[in-house]
Amino acid sequence: MAKPEYYYGVHSVETLLELEPERVLTLFTLKGKDDQRLQKILSLAAPYGISVQQASRDRLEKLAGAPFHQGVVAAVRPVPTLSEKDLDDLVAKQPNVFLLALDQVTDPHNLGACIRTAAAMGCDAVIVPRDRAAGLTPTARKIAAGGAEKVKFIQVTNLARTLAHLKETSHIRVIGTMLDEQALPITQCDLTGPVVIIMGAEDTGLRPITQSQCDHKVYIPMSGNLQSLNVSVATGMALYEACRQRQI
């Protein structure tokens, strides 16, 4: 059997039990902890006969790989990594697909925050390169606060090639966010219909090879002299505008 993954944090574990309880092998809870949030988690686990073990704070920290476990860690049966084929299947089933792509975002905290926002704004999937980018680590899942269980996370070998494929086979428009002379304010760009919005790493932005696949370039208008935002904050603003347009 494959080595289990460890999810930690109240929101992450609670959402997993609500959506995919069959994946949970064992719950580890902080010895002596007995609050309302933990009781809800235990009540969700009870119908499935999931083993519950009390553990010390040190053991929970070792399982989670971080000290911010909020007193609960779940040993979880891993699922296969989603890839280009899964993306094709998703697009075929969802004609009005709404995608977020992250170009070499390497901080798992930023990744988790982007996934959380993507889930809240109704994205169908988050696409990242397989190399030189953060993966769906326990830390990213914790920061996503349950979002990782609500939106598909797809890793691709070559992001630019994947974008070209989406454009050619499914007529999906590619919207790149960047400071560029040709870029429009994001509020002036049509973000309805099948689209993928691409966000770059905050230090380097979108790579030239990724920019070459963009049908439209947009920027987030800002007051004052500040010209850049944390990628997760910028992602939230861009996805909110897309969500606003798509609900009109």
pLDDT at 195: 97
Indicate if the pLDDT at residue 203 is higher than 80: no
pLDDT at 182: 82
Average pLDDT over the chain reads 91
Token pair belonging to 224: 């004052």
The single-letter DSSP state of residue 24 is E
The answer to whether the beta carbons of residues 142 and 66 sit under 8 Å apart is: yes
For the ranges 32-41, 132-141, 142-151, 186-195, the one whose mean pLDDT is highest:
186-195
Which residue range(s) make up the domain with 38? 5-76
Are 44 and 111 part of one and the same domain?
Answer: no
pLDDT digits (tens, 9 = 90+) for 88-112: 999 999 989 999 999 999 999 999 9
Are 100 and 217 part of one and the same domain?
Answer: yes
The answer to whether the beta carbons of residues 153 and 115 sit under 8 Å apart is: yes
Beta strands in 104-192, from DSSP E residues, in sequence order:
125-129, 152-156, 173-177, 184-185
pLDDT at 226: 63
Query: What is the number of structural domains in the chain?
Result: 2
Are 196 and 130 part of one and the same domain?
Answer: yes
CB neighbours of residue 24 within 10 Å: 21
Token pair belonging to 203: 């230090």
Indicate if the pLDDT at residue 246 is higher than 90: yes
Q: Residue 224: which pLDDT band, with cuts at 50, 70 and 90?
A: low
Are 116 and 229 part of one and the same domain?
Answer: yes
Model confidence, pTM: 0.84
Nearest CA-CA partner of 198 in 113, 127, 121? 127
Last residue of a domain, one of 46, 76, 106: 76
Last residue of a domain, one of 43, 76, 109: 76
Are 70 and 90 part of one and the same domain?
Answer: no
Q: What percent of the chain has pLDDT over 70?
A: 97
Are 70 and 97 part of one and the same domain?
Answer: no
CB neighbours of residue 27 within 10 Å: 23
Are 131 and 176 part of one and the same domain?
Answer: yes
pLDDT digits (tens, 9 = 90+) for 1-34: 568 889 998 988 999 999 999 999 999 999 988 8
Last residue of a domain, one of 76, 105, 121: 76
pLDDT at 225: 65
